Amino acid sequence: MSVADAARRRRSRSKVGPSAPDRAQLLDLVEAAATVADHSGLQPWRLVELRGDDRLVVGRSLAAAAGEADDPRAVEKLERKALRAPLLLAVVSSPRESRKVPAWEQESVASGVAHLLSLLLDEAGWGVMWRTGSSTRAPEVHAAHGLAPHEELLGWLYVGDHDGRDTKPRRPVDPARFVAPLPPGLRPAGSGPADHGPEGRAPAPVTDAG
């Protein structure tokens, strides 16, 4: 299967079963996900692996962020949500000191790792759902995951097995809506017609992101 085929087949799965990749399987996929473009090779990311009762910290910290830490019913409800998958991977942006690479670019690397890992997990037969929320970066959630002051949480990958059925067809995307050449008024004076390549696409820009 090509990468394009795997990407087209990928689905976010809100309901997964009780099985999950073991640590060795997970580390193998993380190693592959770590090959995303990473300007200067800073590796500004990490994952917090949550299994068993460790998953409860997600629900409890979200309850605390909502001011409901003293409401047992609210805490239990959020704890149950955190138990919807046997494995939760908290995605953490962990920027490094750099004069060349700004924080926003480093955060995009962490996001890229999560996206690629999600695809790799899906291709390996696991169900994945990337979950976030308005309290993802609340101080209570930050502290509960052991994040350093400079780190930010990007959400959680909920991972488990699934039955292989695609419950919803993917809505097709018209790529031409999202790919366009530079507007004529912004092109360098005296330049010729824009070269959109053999398929009418503008050539990809050159980057040193790796």
The full set of domain ranges for the chain reads 3-49+86-160
**What are 59-100's pLDDT values in tens digits?**
999 999 999 989 999 999 999 999 999 999 999 999 999 999
Q: What SS3 state is found at 47?
A: strand
Q: How far apart are CA 129 and CA 65, in angstroms?
A: 22
**What are 12-61's pLDDT values in tens digits?**
999 999 999 999 999 999 999 999 999 999 999 999 999 999 999 999 99
Q: 């079963």: which residue's tokens? A: 17
Quick one: tokens of 159?
């991972």
- Of residues 185, 186, 175, 179, the one with CA closest to residue 205: 179
Please give the pLDDT value at position 205.
Answer: 53
**What crossing angle do the helices spanning 56-65 and 72-82 adopt, rounded to 10°?**
140
Radius of gyration of the chain measured on its C-alpha atoms: 20
**What are 95-119's pLDDT values in tens digits?**
999 999 999 999 999 999 999 999 9
Q: Which CATH number fits domain 3-49+86-160: 3.40.50.2300, 1.10.10.10, 3.40.50.150, 3.40.109.10?
A: 3.40.109.10
